[in-house]
Structures are given as C-alpha cells and as structure tokens.
Structure 1
C-alpha cells in the first residue's frame, strides 16, 4: 500500500511535522514512497527526506526528482522491512544493513537519552504486520539494528485491530497480550490519524483493497501511530543485556492470561512469598490484570534479588529469544 491522494499526503505531513519548533527537524526516512505523492508534499514543507523504495518501477521518477533538488532528497533502493536480515551471508538488495543505511543518510549514533536522530514513516504490510511489530520491538529492547543509533521514532500506518492491541488495558479479553505490555513499557504510543482502508492504493493485480477481517475488534481503518522509544527505558534495572529475560517473563505470564501471577512465579521457583506483597501486587491477581508497569517493577525486583540468574529461567529466556529471531 502507498499514498496516492494529495489530501491524505497533506494530513500525514501535518501529523509528522506537528507544531513548529526552533530545533531543526531530524531526517525523515520515508519507506515505500511509491509514486512520491507524500515525498513531494514533505519536500515542499522544507523537510529533508531519504526515500527508501523497493519497487524498481517507482525509482526513475523518484531519482529524477532527486536530481532536480540540491541535496534535500536522497533516493535509496531498499526495503526497510528487510533491514538487517537475520540469515547469514551477503546482503542482497532490496535487503540492506542499518549501518550502511545510516552512513548513506549521514546520521551518526547518539546516546539513548538524546533527541530522536531519525523519524521513519511507512505503511506496514498486512501479511507481515504482527511479525514486523514484534521484530521492531525486540530490536528496540536490544538496542540493535537501527536502534544502535538512538531512539528512532516510528510513524507507521497499522491496522485498527493492531492499534487496539497495542493500547489495550488490563483485563480486556483477547486484546491484552504480551505485545501490549512490552509495547507500552518500551514506547510512548500516540495515535496521529485514522484513515479508511479505501484511501490507500495497493499493488495487487486484482486492484482489490484486501481489507483483513476481524470478528472481535474493530478494523475499519488504518491508524497512523507514532512509536517513540521511552527515554527512561534503561534508567532502572532493565537494560539491553537482560531485556531478553524480561520479554520471556512477560510472554510466559500472558501465555495463560487467566492464571494467577503467584502460580506462574512458583512454577519457576522465583517467588519467596514476600515479593508480591512488597510490590503491592495481590497474590491472587491474574496475569491479565497486571499493568505494564507492574510487570516492569516485578522484573526489576527479581533482577535486584539475583533470583533470575539462580534458576533455569535465565537460560530459557536466552534460548526463547534466539527462536524468536
């Protein structure tokens, strides 16, 4: 999918740029610009754009636009959603490596607590939407791939269903998941705009809209969502080194959302009977009723007590993350 409507392009531009600021805007990485409708709208607003396009049919038009400007636009043949492929060996376009991409963009790494170094805009493929959200999230917690360069801000169109999952509250049946907890701990999540599916053009040969159905959550729109990594994510006990254990703990707890948190901890030999009481978490609470911050506090308490490294739990977490990747 890509944007072909000038009105929608202007709406997205307003969402991406927000209020005027005295500070210079970071580079905007536009993924899958297609015919360049949004690209031109951003350029007309004075934005420095790096256009990452994987469809060779759109490249001549974009490159012609690049040549007509004085460095404001850079066009790269590549696919953001194939950034840093997991398989070993030579990386062949449209796949690409983040270090090469950021070098080409002229963006250097900054400390995690610094300002956002790059803004990214894209539309997630519906077939791989969930997998991509997970992959981006894991990279963020590890500070790997593009997150080695700092808190890259994602501005992505995702399905309304996935947005509801990312922002679900404890106790919401089906919607409150491990992805919910980990996203709310890791990102500042902001809804910028909702647009009907019919506003987007697809590359499908049939010309169909390919609107995915969902029986248990509304899914009539694509939602433009800003995912900004939390500046204070790694200021307490959580860090990129032990994040695999935190992710594993949350996934295991919410694999059985109706189970009691104390039963889950006891099954791992992690609860000494006092921990939940000290954290003011009811011992009979179901895992689906804990808030994201509760999971973070629980993990940090376990980490500080050295209980995690004294059990098989730590090794299981590392192995689980290898399987996810």
Structure 2
C-alpha cells in the first residue's frame, strides 16, 4: 500500500458521496455495504458541488457509463489483471474512464503503474489530486478512448485524442508485432453501439493502425454477455456464428477472466437504473471481463496488414448468406477452378459458409491470393464504404 494513504474504497467514499455521486451508486450489489466499514453520509459542507455534479451526470445520461464502485469487485478485477502474479513489479496499465477511481487506487496499492484516461472534468479533478500526491506511479490524461483517432481535419477537439500523443505521454515506443505485449488496457465498453466499437478495434488490429501501430496491445474489456456469446460461438451455431466471430477468433487469443452481474456496477442514470439491454435467445445477465490478445502469428502466410481489409470483407460477404455453399460463393467470385481449390484445401464441396472454421477462411484467402482468377476489386466498393463508416466518430 502507498505510504500514508488508505484504500480509496474506504477513505474516499465520503468524498465521492459529497461530490454528488450518490445517484451513481444506486443499484450496487451487496458487496458495497459488506466490506467491513461504515461509510460516511453525504458531507453537509458541499451542497452546491453535489447539486452541480448531479445535474451534469443527468445531462450526460444519453451515454450510459458504468463504474466500478465496489471495493470487492475492484480487488477481483485487480487479481484478473495481475494474471496470478501477486509479487514483483506490475506492468503499465492504461485504465479507460476510471470515474470515481476505486479500481485505480486498488491497482496502485498492488504496485501497478497506471495511466488513467478520463473525459469527465469532475472525475478528472479528484484523479489529478491523487496523481499529484504520488511520485510518478499515476498519470492522468483527459480524453475518451472510444473517440481515439477520429478522421477530422485540423486540431482534435476534446474529448477526442490521438493515439500517437497518448502513447508518447505514456512513454510507450512501438515494438515489432511478434514482440511481447507492450501495454495492457482495461475498460468497460459502453453498451451504446457496443458492436461498432468492437468492430472498430478489430479493424484497427488487422490493419495495425491506431493503438496497434505500437504492437500487440492487450485489451481487458468488460463487454455484455450477449457480445461474449457471439465472440466465442462455434461453426454451425445459427445466428450467433458470424463474420465478427470468425475474425475475432482468428485475430485474438480470447480468454474469459470473470463474469459479474450488471447490478455490481454503478451507472450515471439519474434514476439509478441498470439499463440492461434486452436480447432474444441469448443470455445477458452479466458483464464479461474478456482478455483479447492479438495473435502473434496472425500475419504469417499471405495475410498482411496491407491486404487485411480485403480479407475482412471477404469474410463479411461470405456471411451475407451464411447458409449458401462455399462452392457457389467461389463461383460468384468468378473462380473457375473452385472444385480443385477446395480439394487442395481439404474442404468438402458442399460445405456451407457458416460451417467453416476461422482457420479455413484464412487458408481460403491465402489460396485465393495466389489465384489468377481472383480479383480484390470484387470487394473494393464495400471495403471503401465500410472503412469510412468504421472510422467515423462513435
């Protein structure tokens, strides 16, 4: 533990409440009140500040934010991020939207070096105060990770931020793709446009752009159970085995670290609600902490960052009609020797697109790259349109 500082879950709860965050703490699981301490009530000396923060959070409720405000959950996440290494120096961690900083302090107490990326000015004030009390173990940056590297002309307007500027501030230099992970990232993916946000990260990873210009950056993200189910689906499973599934499983080593009920997280909703999205035929009772580590051998063979966008849209087009036969799809791409190609790849002639494994798609793409009959221009229009869509401000 840092000298002279109590854990934030105990020492700072009164300040959080005094700052007007009581509405954020509605709907918490019982762990908030069973950690062995009685937390003080709202301070009576700061009513105006409390009202101001509450009004601000209510105005911003169009974008639902979730926070780790439970000390027990913070300790669980810290253990997951440590990966079983409780002793010795901990790696540099980029924490996204830490909010009240409960997890931040827990990580600092465990020896992590933390860079906190926060866009809310009220949270920034407390985080910067904590930064000033330490000797370089915490760096606080104003910005929104999910508005990283927007395609805008001229200077970036807050909360947008440049990945180059972010990594320069963190002191992270680019390393070769096959090198060790240069930095770990932790965050909670907002539920609005959740799939689009995950798609954009996936695009960047395949193209080695944005944060992936610096190497195989490891993501540790809380995502909805619905998206985790799609992420880990198996070939042939109706509706949930998708192009997104294929590309994620091929590109990332996917590891489930923890599942936590939605009720364990604080929100910025003015009524204290959980805002759990409803789904059909899919479990969605938890948020899943998923570790996504880019595959070290992804760019072996014919797949390269320079042609990865074409590969992505080959897979996407294949799932436009997932029950169609692979042979028919190859014929639609003007490939005359499709039977010979499938035999060489040891893929059954009547295999449906939704029955192919992620590795099959990569082998198929690499074989097509060597075919004189295959033209990347088949996907050109879709590649250009969708690339623009993926890089817009979310």
Q: Structure 1 regions of 5+ residues with no counterpart? A: none
Correspondences of 1:5-84 after superposition (within 5 Å): 5-20=70-85, 25-84=90-149
CA distance in 2, matches of 1:290, 1:264: 13
CA distance in 2, matches of 1:22, 1:42: 13
Equivalent position to 1:183, from 236, 248, 254: 248
Give the corresponding residue for 1:288. Answer: 354
Correspondences of 1:1-325 after superposition (within 5 Å): 1-20=66-85, 25-272=90-337, 273-309=339-375, 312-316=377-381, 318-325=383-390
User: Any idea what the Cα deviations from partners look like across 1:184-241, whole Å, max 9, x if unmatched?
Assistant: 0000000000000000011112211000111111000000000000000112210000
The 3-state SS of whatever aligns with 1:126 is coil
User: Any idea what the Cα deviations from partners look like across 1:9-53, whole Å, max 9, x if unmatched?
Assistant: 000000001122898543100001001000000000000000000
CA distance in 1, matches of 2:247, 2:353: 14
The 3-state SS of whatever aligns with 1:255 is coil
CA distance in 2, matches of 1:27, 1:142: 24
Contact kept? 1:244, 1:317, Cα under 8 Å: no
CA distance in 1, matches of 2:285, 2:298: 33
Q: Which structure carries more relative contact order (alpha carbon 8 Å, separation 6+)?
A: 2
Number of residue pairs matched by the alignment: 324
Contact kept? 2:314, 2:379, Cα under 8 Å: no
Quickly say closer, same or farther: Cα 1:23–1:177, change in 2 above 3 A.
farther
Quickly say closer, same or farther: Cα 1:161–1:314, change in 2 above 3 A.
closer
Q: Structure 2 regions of 5+ residues with no counterpart? A: 1-65
Q: Which moved more, 1:193-202 or 1:206-215?
A: 206-215
Contact kept? 1:262, 1:271, Cα under 8 Å: no
User: How does the TM-score come out when normalised to structure 2?
Assistant: 0.80
User: How does the TM-score come out when normalised to structure 1?
Assistant: 0.96
